[in-house]
Amino acid sequence: MHYETTYKLEDFVLNTKWEDLPEEVQERLKGCLVDLMGALVVGSRSEQFKVGLKVAESLFHRGEREIPVVGSDEKFNMFGAAAAMGHSSNAYDIDDGHNMTRAHPGTSFIGGILAAAYEKNLSRDEMLAVMDVAYEVTIRGGAAMMEYYNFAHSSGTFGTLGVAAGVGRIYGFTREELNNVLSIADFNAPLVPGIRSVEYPSMNKDGVPFGVMIGLLALQAHMMGFEGNKNLLESDEHGHFLDDLGTKHQVMDLYFKPYTCCRWGHPAIDACLEILNDHNLTAEDIEKCKIQTFERATLLSKIVPKAVDEAQYNIAYPVAAALIYKDFGFAQVRKESLGDPAVVEMMKKLEFEVDPEFDALFPAKRFCRAEITTKDGRVFRSSDCEPRGEAHENISVDWLADKFRRITGSLLTSEGQEKVLAMICGKENVPVRAIVDEINKKEYWKDL
């Protein structure tokens, strides 16, 4: 493998300026921050986040304890805050995604970047510019890793690079220093086997917290004198992923998730809800429901979940819950909601089968069709449904703000929601610290 260090990637990371980004990219980045803050809010009420706080306390408690984490009154040093938020950002699988890398780029780096931005007192717009380069490095580096290893790794693998790049920029690294830390992060990234997380759901999930922590360890090792050598994006074989760097903006290819479960189950939910809404049906009308989709979706778990992660990496439970409640959000996926008798009974009425045409389109497209038979013998079929929030829909900040309100509504007051949205989406370039401190005000949080 031949390598040539041109510093093309490093110069992009260090020199990208907020004011030079196209307006549509600026708006998308604000929407991304809204979406990721929503994921951090709901994730802060997860069992995984409780673990993250304990990890932060036990391993990263030294130094100034001045950096808060979203949804908690605990404070840690930068590494500890990043580790804690790395455990919460993907806890409910509600964060952005990228079809061709089959991963969740934003969640994989937001914990590290948000903690570092708070530590260094970045403005919102500078934070958003850092997010832009982190998305580029995560997605392009992830594609290079997939090509090199010829294996479907997941978000934590790629996020190591986004954390290293974003925090390296925040810390003021030179191009040579950034090249070294990217090489360390690339070589030592956790090789998260994403398909196993689908087959055997657990907190392992997409490996996000471990990607955050290893990205930060790469930074720390570099600062202590550790020397890496080369990263995949410098190689002739994989450098083509940088050919359109700076002209094509990867944030415009993201999809956004309306439901707190694996993306593969989303089109099934939408197909079922289409039938209910179009024909004025209720759950009580349903005798059986057949789902025709791509093979990977049919392989998702269909067990009655006993844990939150089993509910997310599942297709039967989210579809059944959506048929009952016409939504699958935080209220349906939280631990206290598992075992709902109405949902369990609806799961028994579901059938799943592979549609060869839909399967041929995966992973670029994820389609599903539903067929509901009512108790009085009527049969209704949905259209061929894609999941809502796909990149080609050109998702707006307003769409993401509405999602934020919906998924955080049981946790935050309307006043708190609107103040945070105004700070993220408004014209005033407020400090990152102000946004985090605002969302953590106790008067905005409801008792669960």
CATH number at residue 38: 1.10.4100.10
User: Is residue 368 domain-shared with residue 221, that is, in the same domain?
Assistant: no
Token output for 24: 């549509």
Does residue 392 lie in a domain region?
no
User: Is residue 182 domain-shared with residue 156, that is, in the same domain?
Assistant: yes
Does residue 278 lie in a domain region?
yes
User: Is residue 26 domain-shared with residue 136, that is, in the same domain?
Assistant: yes
User: Is residue 34 domain-shared with residue 146, that is, in the same domain?
Assistant: yes
User: Is residue 339 domain-shared with residue 377, that is, in the same domain?
Assistant: yes
Please work out, in degrees rounded to the nearest 5, the angle formed at the alpha carbon of residue 54 by the alpha carbons of 45 and 123. Answer: 65
CA dist 222 and 239 (Å) reads 23
Does residue 412 lie in a domain region?
no
pLDDT at 448: 53
Which of 253, 276, 305 represents a domain boundary (last residue)? 253
pLDDT at 59: 87
What is the domain count for the chain?
2
Does residue 110 lie in a domain region?
yes
Query: Letter for the amino acid at 176?
Result: E
pLDDT at 85: 98
Does residue 164 lie in a domain region?
yes
User: Is residue 16 domain-shared with residue 58, that is, in the same domain?
Assistant: yes
pLDDT at 3: 84
User: Is residue 192 domain-shared with residue 319, that is, in the same domain?
Assistant: no
Does residue 44 lie in a domain region?
yes
Three-state DSSP class for 135?
helix
8 Å CB contact between 358 and 293 = yes
pLDDT at 364: 81
391 vs 100, 348, 364, 365, CA distance in Å? 12, 34, 11, 11
Domain with 148 in it: 8-253
* Largest Cα–Cα separation, the chain: 73
Does residue 399 lie in a domain region?
no
**Mutual orientation of helices 23-43 and 397-408 as an angle, nearest 10°?**
10
User: Is residue 101 domain-shared with residue 206, that is, in the same domain?
Assistant: yes
User: Is residue 240 domain-shared with residue 271, that is, in the same domain?
Assistant: no
User: Is residue 225 domain-shared with residue 328, that is, in the same domain?
Assistant: no
pLDDT at 63: 63
Task: Name the stretches of the chain with pLDDT < 70.
Answer: 61-63, 448
Does residue 447 lie in a domain region?
no
User: Is residue 135 domain-shared with residue 211, that is, in the same domain?
Assistant: yes
User: Is residue 212 domain-shared with residue 304, that is, in the same domain?
Assistant: no
